[in-house]
């Protein structure tokens, strides 16, 4: 069968062929998918509720704070067993139905707790045993003790409220380091101001968590929607527990030292660099501002390390200075006559100086 050459040439005419080529607009300079992820700012969250946005595996990371709480409860129960108010005070106790676990009279311990001699036996701080007998092991038992049931309930409730949030947000390692180091530095500060009456300092660790929370809130201020509510909560808890420290046996100087050290440690461990969100234009492409990006990266690489370095330097100086002062037996009360009233305020119901005298009488 013959084929018409003219028809064949028309069928393969190059001018009749059309090639469709999809031309995509070039990406912005230096722009990658990872850069886009870096430039996107996390969604603003509620400060104490932001943990619920995290993966499920982080929600269970509360074992360390829970362990500290359990250990404190065990230590307080052991203290009350050793106290044995029913036998040693001949039944002159509060809540006599508790028997061996009943509390000393309110005039002796308004916090529903043991006697001064029991606290001393369990490892409370007192200037004479620290400077004359050199019982430095009390520096490690001091932050584990509570002055009474009221002190225990309030302190541990606040530890749970603040500590679990920090542990879920930043992990158990960071929360644990802040808890332990703040408690130890708070103990050293308390040892510089401690008097002849026994005192306990479990609040130092709590104030360390509060200081770290305040530091994290300030550093990530723009991330949270309820920042003023969170700030008010931190201030309220801090003031409430400081006022509790004005009662007998609770050492407020450990709280002050713990708060300062917690804030400095939070500035080191809980720093979270922020990057700004880049808006989308009408075409759906991200408006990549190279100049702003470079400035943001420079701030992260220069400003934040300087801030961290200064914080860790101040913490190191505070730790070393307090440690040297304690080993040298320095008594800061000799240079600050009114400081004792920041630790125990006398009242008609109790007298801080009378507690000291009654304690010596028991010895």
Instruction: Give residue 263's pLDDT band: very low, low, confident or very high (50, 70, 90).
Output: very high
pLDDT surpasses 80 at 161:
yes
Alpha-helix runs per DSSP H in 328-348: none
In a domain, 120, yes or no: yes
Instruction: Give residue 52's pLDDT band: very low, low, confident or very high (50, 70, 90).
Output: very low
Mean pLDDT computed over 147-155: 95
Mean pLDDT computed over 68-85: 94
Lowest-pLDDT range of 52-66, 104-118, 123-137, 337-351? 52-66
- Res 55: pLDDT: 46
In a domain, 113, yes or no: yes
Instruction: Give residue 147's pLDDT band: very low, low, confident or very high (50, 70, 90).
Output: very high
This prediction has a pTM of 0.76
- Alpha-carbon dihedral 256, 157, 152, 136, rounded to 10 degrees: -40
State the DSSP string of 217-285: HHHTGGGBS-HHHHHHHHHHHHHHHHHHTTSTTB-HHHHHHHHHHHHHHHHHHS-----PPPPB-TTS-
Q: Please give the residue that has the higher pLDDT: either 133 or 295.
A: 133
pLDDT surpasses 60 at 50:
no
Whether the CB-CB separation of 144 and 204 falls below 8 Å is answered with no
- Res 87: pLDDT: 81
Q: Which residues contact 208 (CB under 8 A, 6 or more apart)?
A: 178, 179, 181, 182, 183, 185, 186, 258, 259, 261, 262, 265
In a domain, 30, yes or no: no
CA distances from 69 to 66, 211, 252, 260 (A): 5, 19, 20, 22
Mean pLDDT computed over 178-201: 93
What 8-state DSSP symbol labels residue 148? S
- Res 90: pLDDT: 73
Average pLDDT, the chain: 78
In a domain, 224, yes or no: yes
Q: Please give the residue that has the higher pLDDT: either 302 or 121.
A: 121
Lowest-pLDDT range of 8-22, 179-193, 222-236? 8-22
Total count of domains within the chain: 1
* Full domain range(s) for residue 135: 62-273+288-331
Q: How many CB atoms lie within 10 A of CB 169?
A: 22
Q: Please give the residue that has the higher pLDDT: either 111 or 362.
A: 111
In a domain, 103, yes or no: yes
- Res 284: pLDDT: 41
- Res 358: pLDDT: 43
> Which two structure tokens, joined as six digits, stand for 198?
């026994």
CA angle 61, 65, 68 (to 5 degrees): 145
- Res 351: pLDDT: 66
In a domain, 347, yes or no: no
In a domain, 321, yes or no: yes
Mean pLDDT computed over 224-238: 89
In a domain, 170, yes or no: yes
Instruction: Give residue 196's pLDDT band: very low, low, confident or very high (50, 70, 90).
Output: confident
- Res 288: pLDDT: 43
Q: Domain holding 74: CATH number? A: 1.20.1540.10
């Amino acid at each position: 069968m013959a084929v018409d050459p003219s028809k064949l040439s028309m069928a393969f005419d190059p001018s009749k062929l059309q090639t469709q080529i999809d031309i995509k607009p070039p990406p912005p300079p230096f722009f990658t998918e990872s850069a886009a992820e870096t430039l996107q700012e996390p969604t603003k969250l509620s400060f104490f509720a932001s943990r619920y946005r995290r993966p499920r595996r982080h929600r269970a990371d509360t074992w360390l704070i829970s362990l500290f709480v359990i250990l404190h409860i065990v230590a307080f129960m052991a203290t009350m067993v050793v106290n044995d108010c029913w036998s040693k005070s001949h039944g002159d106790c509060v809540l006599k139905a508790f028997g061996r676990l009943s509390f000393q009279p309110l005039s002796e311990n308004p916090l529903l707790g043991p006697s001064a001699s029991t606290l001393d036996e369990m490892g409370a701080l007192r200037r004479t045993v620290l400077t004359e007998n050199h019982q430095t092991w009390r520096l490690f038992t001091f932050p584990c003790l509570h002055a009474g049931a009221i002190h225990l309930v309030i302190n541990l409730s606040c530890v749970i409220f603040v500590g679990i949030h920090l542990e879920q947000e930043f992990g158990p390692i960071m929360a644990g380091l802040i808890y332990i180091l703040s408690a130890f530095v708070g103990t050293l500060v308390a040892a510089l101001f401690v008097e002849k009456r026994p005192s306990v300092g479990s609040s130092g660790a709590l104030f360390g968590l509060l200081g770290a929370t305040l530091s994290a809130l300030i550093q990530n201020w723009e991330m949270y929607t309820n920042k003023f509510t969170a700030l008010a909560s931190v201030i309220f808890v801090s003031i409430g527990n400081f006022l509790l420290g004005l009662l007998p046996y609770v050492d407020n100087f450990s709280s002050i030292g713990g708060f300062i050290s917690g804030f400095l440690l939070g500035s080191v461990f809980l720093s979270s660099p922020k990057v700004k969100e880049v808006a989308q234009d009408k075409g759906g492409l991200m408006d990549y501002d190279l100049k702003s990006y470079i400035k943001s990266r420079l701030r992260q690489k220069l400003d934040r390390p300087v801030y961290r370095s200064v914080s860790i330097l101040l913490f190191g100086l505070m730790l070393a200075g307090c440690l040297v002062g304690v080993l040298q037996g320095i008594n800061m009360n000799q240079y600050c006559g009114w400081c004792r009233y920041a630790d125990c305020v006398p009242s008609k119901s109790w007298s801080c100086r009378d507690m000291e005298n009654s304690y010596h009488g028991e010895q």
